């Protein structure tokens, strides 16, 4: 059995209570375990439920518009996210497992 600890730190005034960071933190942990990096052109935004389901977050269109302005090209979002035109390719997933597959961090 592996004994591993994971720590997450928010900087720049971000609140740790922000649910939109859940998916990014999950990807960072899986990336660390697999040694595979998250693709640099992806932005991840979603709340993760206890069962691994991915939920949408408030203000998603505004968040993704800003991500596009910063140079991101693809966004991983919950399958329930509304249709929007933000200048990013939206990749919709239902679970954390599906998200890690879409990012290429795991294989099935």
Tokens of 87: 């200048």
What are the structural domains, with CATH classification, of the chain?
19-103 (3.30.230.10)
User: Phi and psi of 31, rounded to 5°?
Assistant: -60, -40
Average pLDDT, the chain: 89
Residue 100's pLDDT is 97
Tokens of 53: 């389901």
Residue 15's pLDDT is 61
CA-wise closest residue to 80 among 91, 94, 69:
94
Q: pLDDT of the chain along its 108 residues, tens only?
A: 666 776 776 677 666 677 888 999 999 999 988 999 999 999 999 999 999 999 999 999 999 999 999 999 999 999 999 888 999 999 999 999 999 999 999 998
Three-class SS state of 21: helix
CA-wise closest residue to 100 among 64, 48, 57:
48
Angle, in degrees to the nearest 10, between helices 96-103 and 22-34: 60
Residue 14's pLDDT is 63
């Amino acid at each position: 059995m592996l004994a591993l600890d994971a720590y997450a730190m928010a900087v720049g005034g971000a609140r740790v209570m922000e649910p939109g960071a859940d998916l990014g933190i999950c990807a960072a942990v899986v990336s660390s375990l697999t040694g595979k990096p998250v693709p640099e052109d992806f932005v991840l935004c979603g709340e993760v439920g206890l069962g691994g389901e991915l939920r949408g977050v408030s203000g998603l269109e505004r968040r993704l518009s800003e991500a596009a302005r910063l140079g991101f090209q693809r966004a991983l979002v919950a399958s329930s996210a509304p249709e929007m035109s933000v200048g990013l390719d939206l990749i919709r997933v239902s679970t954390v497992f599906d998200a890690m597959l879409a990012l290429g961090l795991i294989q099935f």
